[in-house]
Amino acid sequence: MSFEKLDAHVHGLPRAQIGFYPTPFHKLENLSRDSGVNIFMKREDMAGPGTISGSKLRLAEFIIGQALSDGVTHVLTQGAYLTNSGMQFAMAAVAAGLKPILFLQDESHRGPQPEYRGNLLLNQIMGVEVHLIPAAKGEHWDTPSARKKLADSIEAKYAALVREGHRPMIVPGGGAHPTGLIAHALTFKEMTEQSNAQGVMLDYIYHTAGTGTALPGLIAAKLLSGSKTKIRSITINHYAPGNWINSDIIINRAKGLLGQLGIEDISEAQIESEIDLDQRFIGEDYAMPSPESVEATRELARRDAVFVGPVYTAKGFAGLLDHIRSGRVPAGSNVAFLHTGDTGNLFEIPSVVGDVTADPH
């Protein structure tokens, strides 16, 4: 098993060193004992530079690295008001001396927002310029019209900055900029090397999938290295043909990455056979807690003192616990959960976090 081609390719790429890599990899001793499965965790939530971080920072190192070599001055990006990606790109831009500007969907339908909470609070402390774009009454965050309003606002700001002589760049929601997609091939490599160093062969990697930035990199690294580890994704939004994100997008991105690495003999069917999505843990909607996500948050914190975040990782971890209990992860397996972050949003209102403080028994 070799990652040589990946190493050689990444070595030649511009990259801003902002985070703390490799991120930690450790066993959850108590949940492992409880469940009869060896559960490990890869801590992208600890990627830095702030104490609250996540999986987007790895993308940002490459995207900002390229931006610096292109003379970029402003980084414009978008997301939900509690966006992890936006907060991490803001951290990365600030750390690199660039100016971040965020365009976020106003979620005032959840009730008035008199104070800063969650990631919005962190953006405010960093002094980030944030534009909250209100949706029309009754409009869902994922409708094309809501998406268009955000896109139009960004375009207008971009044009204004250019007129003023600046050099802005736009990073798509979730950090899905082609320059960054190689990043999570490195996550796969790190996890493989860290588990091997502990004498462990990983049977499964579980992660929470959303905007499809980690999965193509994980799959590309797996295929290029010939690893036997299976990748399983718990989604927090619906992947379906015609949807915002779907399997075709993952396949195209993985194929593009393999192409960059000079690997042309892996078919789309081979890539597709590596995609294993479980869509049963979305709950009512994106950014809404589910009974399973609330229970998973509490269980992990009470057994192993690790915090997941309500909108993403709690749902992913709930999926993993379900798969362990139902036998989809057989007893004695070695499984690693990729902790992609979202812990900033634990400091949110109950309609986002759920009743995580309740005594379950």
Q: Is 209 in the site for ligand PLP (CB under 6 A)?
A: yes
Does residue 184 sit in helix, strand or coil?
Answer: helix
Distances, alpha carbon 15 to alpha carbons 10, 57, 144, 191, in Å: 9, 11, 34, 20
**Which of residues 65, 180, 210, 283 is near ligand PLP by CB under 6 A?**
210
Pick the binder of ligand PLP from 32, 78, 192, 208 (CB under 6 A): 208
Long-range contacts of 293-302 (CB under 8 A, 24+ apart): 293/318, 293/354, 294/353, 294/354, 294/355, 294/356, 295/360, 296/321, 297/346, 297/353, 297/354, 297/356, 298/356, 298/358, 298/360, 299/31, 300/28, 300/31
Q: Which stretch binds ligand PLP (CB under 6 A): 17-25, 100-108, 139-147, 202-210?
A: 202-210
CA–CA separation, 158 vs 152, rounded Å?
10
Contact string 85-114 vs ligand PLP (x = CB under 6 A): x-----------------------------
* 127/90 Cα distance (integer angstroms): 10
| Nearest-angstrom CA–CA distance, 175 and 86 | 8
For ligand PLP, the closer of residues 161 and 173 by Cβ is 173
Interface residue with ligand PLP among 342, 348, 354, 356 (CB under 6 A) is 342
Instruction: Return the CA Rg of the chain.
Output: 20
Name the residue nearer to ligand PLP (CB basis): 72 or 287.
Answer: 287
Q: Does 319 bind ligand PLP (CB under 6 A)?
A: no
Minimum CB separation of residue 53 from ligand PLP in Å reads 10
CB of 231 to ligand PLP, least distance (A): 12
Closest CA to 190 of 39, 47, 32, 37: 47
Cβ-based neighbour number of residue 13 at 10 Å: 15
Q: Which of 150, 202, 214, 257 binds ligand PLP (CB under 6 A)?
A: 214
Distance of CA 272 to the CA centre of its chain: 20
Selected binder of ligand PLP within 221, 282, 340, 353 (CB under 6 A): 340
Residue of 19, 100, 118, 174 that binds ligand PLP (CB under 6 A): 174
Is 297 one of the binding residues for ligand PLP (CB under 6 A)? no
Locus of tokens 């915002």: 244
The 42-61 site mask, x for binding ligand PLP (CB under 6 A), equals ------------xxx-----
Instruction: Identify whether the C-beta of residue 277 lies closer than 8 Å to the C-beta of residue 233.
Output: yes
| Least distance between ligand PLP and beta carbon 43 (Å) | 12
* Residues 61-90 within binding reach of ligand PLP (CB under 6 A): 84-85
Whether 190 and 25 have beta carbons less than 8 Å apart is answered as yes
Cβ atoms of 351 and 328 within 8 Å: the answer is no
Beta strand spans in the chain (E): 25-27, 38-43, 74-80, 99-106, 129-134, 168-171, 204-209, 230-235, 277-278, 334-339
The yes or no reply on residue 293 touching ligand PLP (CB under 6 A) is no
**Residues contacting 210, CB < 8 A, separation 6+:** 174, 235, 236, 237, 245, 312
161/181 with CB nearer ligand PLP: 181
Q: Which of 40, 312, 337, 347 binds ligand PLP (CB under 6 A)?
A: 312
Q: In whole angstroms, what is the distance from residue 356 CA to residue 338 CA?
A: 21
Residue 213 within binding range of ligand PLP, rule CB under 6 A: yes
Peptide bond into 134 cis (omega under 30): no
Minimum Å gap between C-beta 181 and ligand PLP is 9
100, 118, 173, 212: which one binds ligand PLP (CB under 6 A): 212
To the nearest whole angstrom, how small is the minimum distance from the Cβ of residue 287 to ligand PLP? 12
CB of 215 to ligand PLP, least distance (A): 6
**Should residue 192 be labelled a site residue for ligand PLP when binding is judged by CB under 6 A?**
no
Number of residues lying near ligand PLP (CB under 6 A): 19
Which positions lie near ligand PLP, rule CB under 6 A? 54-56, 84-85, 174, 208-214, 309, 312-313, 340-342
